Amino acid sequence: MSGSSRINTDVDFNQNGKQVTTLNLPHSPHDDAWGVIQIPIAVIKNGTGPTVLLEGGNHGDEYEGPIILGRMIRDLDPAEIQGRLIIIPAINTPAVLAGQRTSPIDGLNFNRCFPGNPDGTMTYQIVHYVHDVLFNIADAFIDLHSGGSSLDILPSAIIEPSDNPELMQKNIEAVLAFGAPCTLVLNNLGETRTSMSSAIRAGLISVGTELGGGGRVSLEGLEVCSRGVRNVLAHLGVMKGTSATPQQKGHKTRVKCVPGAMGYVYAPAAGVFEPFHEKGASVEKDSVAGLVHFLDEPARTPVTAYYKCSGTLYARREPGRVKRGNCVAVIVVDFNDGIPKPCLLYTSPSPRDKR
């Protein structure tokens, strides 16, 4: 989308040191003629080196990433950095303040609005700034998600496939450097409007996460996130770190993927979903994922939902109440099962830069 952003800011992306300020997006609703939406941003820069864009609050009900990014803004000394961090813990600020996945202003999902539109509604305008301004000055992108209000997810680092083998290899090395207990290859069934897929098309080294969910704050998710982000920054040479990879330090990651549409289980009716398994369970194709109950019709037989493939229960619906078509379970399989590409994930990470 061509055109200039209406977002203004006093941040100087070229200045050394730590700046904590806001991106200001003009917003003129009934009760505020000349107001702005203020999106918090920090730029921490020291000399030359890679620029890493760290994003939280893409969805407003996913809290581990924003908490860790806030901690980094408060605690990081620019002397610990070699290069530049652009940290935005609550990118879709209206959604974050509302604790909602989608913006309360225009009802839109930030992660389905790329590449954005400078003349669009609020969410489109924020997306456009990220896509056209921030992606252009960044070398790498870390997008911190969790399961949000409707799903609880095994803490994991996410890699999206890239058509560019060279970038794919860099993304593999970065996601393995994150060192999450699980590494998931995810393409969102080919969805191209996400921040990750857009960052990859823009040529950025990109790492995502899923860190828990259920609208809660996961202690394990916080720990995985805090350690993983620093691991990636060390891997990219922006922060001091040891040269050992998480694998060399003994951190094991299981590399999994969603086997396409077969991995998703949807509620077959409206009602209350009774899951049959805990997150992390091994489940079998055609076995029962759960039952949808009709609480106001106790004599009516519940409707059964089935798994469409065998694998590990990676994500599970959180609220009991479901509508037909709600995602109630996501199954993942070992990465070598079923999909041949991108098989590069099985090559060993190349030796780290000497630091």
| Binding stretches for Ca ion (CB under 5 A) | 59, 145
Q: Given the DSSP bridges, would you call strands 311-317 and 282-283 parallel, antiparallel or unpaired?
A: antiparallel
β-bridge partners, 143:
55, 208
Which of 298-312 are b and which e, b meaning 16 or more Cβ less than 10 Å from the residue's Cβ? Answer: eeeebbebebbbbbb
Closest CB to Ca ion among residues 145, 170: 145
Closest CB to Ca ion among residues 147, 311: 147
In whole angstroms, the minimum distance from the beta carbon of 70 to Ca ion comes to 18
**62 with 152: CB under 8 angstroms?**
no
Which of 139, 167, 174, 166 shows the shortest CA–CA distance to 349? 174
Which amino acid does the sequence have at 10? D
In whole angstroms, the minimum distance from the beta carbon of 342 to Ca ion comes to 22
Closest CB to Ca ion among residues 208, 271: 208
Torsion sign, CA atoms 75, 77, 81, 83? positive
Terminal-to-terminal C-alpha distance of the chain: 40
In whole angstroms, the minimum distance from the beta carbon of 59 to Ca ion comes to 4
The one-character DSSP state at 81 is B
Closest CB to Ca ion among residues 132, 143: 143
Indicate the residue whose CB is closest to Ca ion. Answer: 145
In whole angstroms, the minimum distance from the beta carbon of 330 to Ca ion comes to 13
Closest CB to Ca ion among residues 186, 239: 186
β-bridge partners, 304:
291
Alpha-carbon distance values, 236 to 19, 134, 206, 231, 245 (Å): 22, 18, 11, 9, 12
In whole angstroms, the minimum distance from the beta carbon of 262 to Ca ion comes to 22
Closest CB to Ca ion among residues 59, 230: 59
In whole angstroms, the minimum distance from the beta carbon of 67 to Ca ion comes to 15
